[in-house]
Structure 1
Amino acid sequence: MEFRHLRYFLVLAEELHFGRAARRLAISQPPLSLNIQQLEASVGARLFDRDSRGVRLTAAGRAFRESATALLAQAEAARLLAREIEAGAIGRLRVGFVGSMLYRGLPQTLRAFEAAYPGIQMALTELNSQEQIDALLHDELDAAFIHTGRVPDPLQATRVHAEPFVCCLPADHPLAAQPELALADLRGEAFVLFSRKASPDYYSRIFDMCAAQGFYPQIRHEVRHWLSVVSLVSQGMGVAVVPAALARSGMAGAAFRPLAGTAVRSEVYCVWKTAPDHPARDNFVAMVAAQVASTEATSKEATHQRKSHRHDGRWLVKYAWNGVFSVLAA
C-alpha cells in the first residue's frame, strides 16, 4: 500500500464515478482502476461495489475512508513539520548568556529573532563563561554569549562585541569625585572580581591590566556573575574593573568612571557547537553575525564623519559619560 493508493481511493470515494475521479487525478481510467484493485488486494477487503447502477462504498470502504483520511492528514502534517524544522522555522533554541549581555543588545537581538521566527521557543539561561562552555559541550545549550574566544573543539566562536573597561566604585568613594581614573589610582583598594574558575579569561585580563600599571589587585571578594560584582561594589564592599556596558545597569550606590591609559577591551563572543545539525541555531547565529556586520558598518561611517571634522590636525577625545562611551572630535 502506498500513499498514492490512498489518494486515489479518497477521490473515488468522493466522486463515486471512475471517469470523474480519473479527470480530477489527471490520469486515465485504467490506471485508476488498477490502483484501486491493488489497494483492495493489499487491504484484503472489497472497498467498492461496482455494477450497472454505478460505484458505491462497501461497509469496509466506509470504515477505511475514515482511517485513510486521517492517515493522509498525518502524513501531510509530518511533511510540513519536517520542512519547517529543516528551515529552522520551528523548534526550541536554548541560549546562554553572561549578565552584561542584558546591556549589550541581547534583548533587542532576541526580540528580532522571535519576530522573524515566531515558531521557535526561546529558553534563556544566565551562566558564567566556563559554565556555558561546559553546557555547550554537554548539549545543554545551543548557543552562548561568553567572554572568551578561546574555546575547545568542537565549539566555534565569533566576536560580537568589544568595549572599554571602566572603574566601578561605591558612589561615596573619594575617587568617585574624579571624572576619570587611572588603574594605578586603585592600588591598595579591595577588589571584587570573578573567580579564576568562573572566567579564566577575564581574571587574567584584569590581572594583566593592573600588572601593567605596576601593581596586583588585592582581591577581597570573588563572585560568579557581573551583576554580583556591581552589587557588592554598590554596598561598599570594594572596587572593580568592569565592562562599560554595566554602567547602564542602573544599580543605586555604584559609580562608574572611565579608565585612562589602557587600550584593553572587554569582548563578548557568540559560541556554538558545530554538530549536531540545528537549523534554528544556525539561523540565530546568522542573525547575530548580520547585526555585528551592520554595527561595524555604522561604526566605520561614524568614524569617517568624525575624521571629516578634524581640527588643526589633532584629535581631542572626550568621554560623554551617560552610561556609554562617546568619542567626539573637536
Structure 2
Amino acid sequence: MELRHLRYFSVLAEELHFGRAARRLSISQPPLSVAIRQLEESVGARLFERNSKEVRLTHAGEALRISARRLLLQAEEAALEARDVAAGSAGRLRIGFVGAMLYRGLPQALRAFQARHPAVRITLAELNSGVQIAELLHDRLDLGFVHTSRMPPELQHRLLLSEPFVCCLPSGHALARKRVLAPPDLRNQPFVLFSREASPDYHERILSICADAGFLPEVRHEVRHWLAVVSLVSQGMGVALVPQAMRHSALRGAVFRPLDRAVAQSEAHGVWRSGPPNVLAERLLQGVANVQPAAAGPPQGDRASPSGGGELHAAKRSEKPGG
C-alpha cells in the first residue's frame, strides 16, 4: 500500500466519479483505475461498487476512508515537521553545560533563541565536562558547553571564551583588603579546588598556577561545580582560584580579586558530534558567542579592578555543529 494509492482512493471516495477524481488529481482516468485496483488487491477487499450509472463505497471502503484520511494527514504533518527541522524552525535541542556557563551568557542566549524559535523544545542538563563528552558520544546530547579542549575524534569543538582566573576569598579574610593579589600570596592558605574527576583540565590548571608561584596548595575540599567552590569559600572554608565569570554569582560572603600577572586561562568550548549539520545547535552556539563579551566583563559595582577582561575568540575553524 502506497501513500499515492491512498490519495487517489480518498479523492475518489469524495467524488464518487472516476472522471472528476482524475481531473482533481491531474491524471487520466486509466491510471486512476489501475491504482484503485492495486489498492484493492493490497487490502484484499473491494472498496468500490461501480457500474455504468454510479460509483459507491463498500463497507470496507467506508472503513478505509476514515483511516486513509488520518494516515494522509499524519504523513503531511510529518513532512511539514521534517521541513521545519531542516529549516531550523522546529525540533528538539538537548544541551549540556558546566555551571560557569550560567555566568557566561548561556541564559541570555537561550532566551533570545527561544523567542526566535518558539516551536523548538529545549532540554538542559548541568553536567561536568567529562560526562557531557560521554553523553555526546552516546547521542544523548546535541550540544555541550565544556571546560576542556581534549576531545575524542568523533567530536568537534569551538573555543568560545578565554578569560583569566581570579582569586575568590571569604569577605573577612585578611587578603581581601588587597585590591590585587599575587599567586604567592596564597601560599599556606587552605584551598577549595575543582575536582580532578569532574574536570582534569581545570584541576591541573589551578595546580600549575600554584606550582609556577613556587608552592603546592593545601587542598581542604574538592567539589564538582564552580558554584559549590564559591559557596564553600563564602562560608570561610578556604580560598580558591576561579574563572572570572564566577564574580557574577554574587554570593554573600565571597569577594573576588584579580591576579597581578598572566596565568593559565579559563576556557569555554562548544562541542558537538561530527555528522550532518544541526541548524539549531549552530544558531544557539552562535548566540552564546555573541553575548560572551558582555557576560564575561566585570559586573557593575565590582570593587576590584581586574587585571584583564574576558576575551572572545573567533572560531579558528569554519565547521558547524554536526558538520
Say whether the fold is shared (TM-score over 0.5): yes
RMSD in angstroms over aligned alpha carbons?
Answer: 2.9
The TM-score with structure 2 as length reference comes to 0.82
Counterpart Cα distance in 1 of 2:138 and 2:207 = 30
Alpha-carbon deviation of 1:232?
0.9
The corresponding residue for 1:22 is: 22
- 3-state secondary structure, aligned to 2:161: strand
- 3-state secondary structure, aligned to 2:165: strand
The corresponding residue for 1:165 is: 165
Counterpart Cα distance in 2 of 1:117 and 1:273 = 22
Alpha-carbon deviation of 1:29?
2.6
Counterpart Cα distance in 2 of 1:217 and 1:85 = 50
The corresponding residue for 1:190 is: 190
- 3-state secondary structure, aligned to 1:259: coil
The superposition leaves residues 34-67 of structure 1 with CA deviations (integer Å, 9 ceiling, x where unpaired) of 3333333443433333344333223332233222
CA 1:13 to 1:215, structure 2 compared with 1: closer, same or farther past 3 Å?
same
Alpha-carbon deviation of 1:258?
1.3
The corresponding residue for 1:283 is: 280
Counterpart Cα distance in 2 of 1:89 and 1:128 = 29
Counterpart Cα distance in 2 of 1:179 and 1:323 = 6
Counterpart Cα distance in 2 of 1:210 and 1:69 = 71
Alpha-carbon deviation of 1:234?
0.6
Residue identity matched to 1:69:
R
The corresponding residue for 2:71 is: 71
The residue correspondences of 1:1-330 to structure 2 (distance < 5 A) are 1-87=1-87, 89-274=89-274, 279=278, 283-289=280-286, 291-292=288-289, 321=302, 325=306
The superposition leaves residues 161-206 of structure 1 with CA deviations (integer Å, 9 ceiling, x where unpaired) of 1112111111011211122111122122111111222221112212
Counterpart Cα distance in 2 of 1:135 and 1:232 = 29
Residue identity matched to 1:292:
A
- 3-state secondary structure, aligned to 2:93: strand
The superposition leaves residues 144-171 of structure 1 with CA deviations (integer Å, 9 ceiling, x where unpaired) of 2121112223222211111121111110
Counterpart Cα distance in 2 of 1:262 and 1:36 = 78
- 3-state secondary structure, aligned to 1:169: strand
Counterpart Cα distance in 1 of 2:204 and 2:188 = 19
Counterpart Cα distance in 2 of 1:177 and 1:324 = 13
Tell which has more relative contact order, 1 or 2 (C-alpha 8 A, sep 6+): 2
CA 1:36 to 1:124, structure 2 compared with 1: closer, same or farther past 3 Å?
closer
Q: Give the % identical residues.
A: 58
Alpha-carbon deviation of 1:262?
2.0
- 3-state secondary structure, aligned to 1:121: strand
The corresponding residue for 1:310 is: none
Q: Which runs of 5+ in 1 are unaligned?
A: 299-318
Contact 1:93 1:142 in 2 (8 A): yes
Alpha-carbon deviation of 1:84?
4.0
- 3-state secondary structure, aligned to 2:259: strand
- 3-state secondary structure, aligned to 2:233: helix
Counterpart Cα distance in 2 of 1:266 and 1:213 = 18
- 3-state secondary structure, aligned to 1:180: coil
The TM-score with structure 1 as length reference comes to 0.81
Counterpart Cα distance in 2 of 1:134 and 1:250 = 32
Runs of 4+ in 1 over 6 A off after TM superposition: none
Contact 1:50 1:56 in 2 (8 A): yes
Counterpart Cα distance in 1 of 2:130 and 2:308 = 33
Contact 1:248 1:323 in 2 (8 A): no
Greater Cα radius of gyration, structure 1 or 2? 1
Residue identity matched to 2:54:
G
Alpha-carbon deviation of 1:88?
5.2
Contact 2:89 2:120 in 1 (8 A): yes
- 3-state secondary structure, aligned to 1:95: strand
* 195-204 or 96-105: bigger deviation: 195-204
CA 1:142 to 1:123, structure 2 compared with 1: closer, same or farther past 3 Å?
same
Counterpart Cα distance in 1 of 2:130 and 2:47 = 64
Residue identity matched to 1:106:
L
Counterpart Cα distance in 1 of 2:32 and 2:134 = 59
Q: Which runs of 5+ in 2 are unaligned?
A: 295-299, 310-323
Alpha-carbon deviation of 1:267?
0.8
CA 1:137 to 1:62, structure 2 compared with 1: closer, same or farther past 3 Å?
closer
